[in-house]
Amino acid sequence: MLRKIALLSASLLCACGSYSSPPPNIVSIEPEEVVSGEASTITLELDAPLPVKVDYGRRTATVVLPTIMIGGKQVTVAQLEQTGMLRATVPTDLPAGPQEVRLELEDGNESLQAQGITVLPVPPELSPQTGNPNQGGGTSTDPELTGLLIDPIADQVRGVPFLITLRAEGPKAADFTGQVQISSNKGRVSPNLSNAFSQGVRQEEVVLDKQGGQVVLTVRVGKDIVAQSNPFKVSVK
């Protein structure tokens, strides 16, 4: 895409006419799932040349960055990569649920994805661990669990459910009966909330709606416990 911009810039330097950019198109957004309250950056792939400002005196051309709106809020464009990708920062105060992503150019052209990203709720909190009544009761100072582990995941097929095995780690991992949040770095995973663990283990059936390589699932519980799967491939049916 940037090669097209360079060629367009060269022609503008030799011409006197004005340039009106064609409507942009958002080809893809990654990740499509972010967590409420967390600082996140999304990458937008565009399938259209960006407008160029030309200084005829200096014989220079500058790409004009578009305005990005997420959930109705203007966000910072953090980076324009040579591959034609835009990186933008997601506001941390967006409500949970689908959020519109809009790209606007100076000439009024725009591209809109009504459900461009999904903001997931804050991950489930860890419940306090109760002490052994035979030892006087009270609240234990030991953490209920210190981490999570996702068993290796093989390559999968888009739209076909598969099982993932989640394991709690820590001194009292076997007592963990809570739920964890599940998200994907590409497309959307369903469900986003696991069922309850049993004896510190949960086998959850999930499905992904987008194909691609280097897909990684992330599970979260509480404020600090996060685990990621191995990268795997999701193929088209």
Residue 136 has pLDDT above 80, yes or no: no
- On average, the pLDDT of the chain sits at 83
172 and 107 share a domain? no
pLDDT in tens, 60-70: 877 777 889 99
Question: What pLDDT, on the 0 to 100 scale, is given for residue 137?
Answer: 41
pLDDT in tens, 148-197: 999 999 999 999 999 999 999 999 899 999 999 999 999 999 999 999 99
pLDDT in tens, 98-123: 999 999 887 788 889 999 999 999 89
Question: What would the mean pLDDT of 70-97 be, rounded to a whole number?
Answer: 86
Residue 201 has pLDDT above 60, yes or no: yes
88 and 160 share a domain? no
d(CA 52, CA 64): 6
Select from 99, 48, 44 the least CA-distant residue to 77.
Answer: 44
Decide if 6 is inside a domain: no
Decide if 215 is inside a domain: yes
Decide if 197 is inside a domain: yes
Question: What pLDDT, on the 0 to 100 scale, is given for residue 47?
Answer: 82
38 and 95 share a domain? yes
Question: What pLDDT, on the 0 to 100 scale, is given for residue 46?
Answer: 85
114 and 149 share a domain? no
Q: Report, in angstroms and rounded to the nearest whole number, the Rg of the chain calculated over CA atoms.
A: 23
Note whether 129 and 143 are within 8 A (CB): yes
Q: 3-class DSSP state for residue 174?
A: helix
Which structure tokens are listed for 2? 């940037």
Q: 3-class DSSP state for residue 7?
A: helix
Decide if 17 is inside a domain: no
Decide if 162 is inside a domain: yes
CATH number at residue 73: 2.60.40.10
pLDDT in tens, 36-58: 988 899 999 988 667 777 888 88
Which structure tokens are listed for 46? 């565009």
95 and 29 share a domain? yes
Share of the chain above pLDDT 70, in %: 80
Residue 15 has pLDDT above 50, yes or no: no
Decide if 7 is inside a domain: no
Residue 8 has pLDDT above 60, yes or no: no
35 and 113 share a domain? yes
Decide if 135 is inside a domain: no
113 and 160 share a domain? no
90 and 173 share a domain? no
d(CA 237, CA 229): 22
196 and 115 share a domain? no
155 and 91 share a domain? no
177 and 229 share a domain? yes
Question: What is the domain range of residue 171?
Answer: 143-235
28 and 110 share a domain? yes
Count of the separate structural domains present in the chain? 2
**What per-residue string of b and e applies to 76-93 under the rule 16 or more CB within 10 Å gives b?**
ebeebeeebbbebebbee
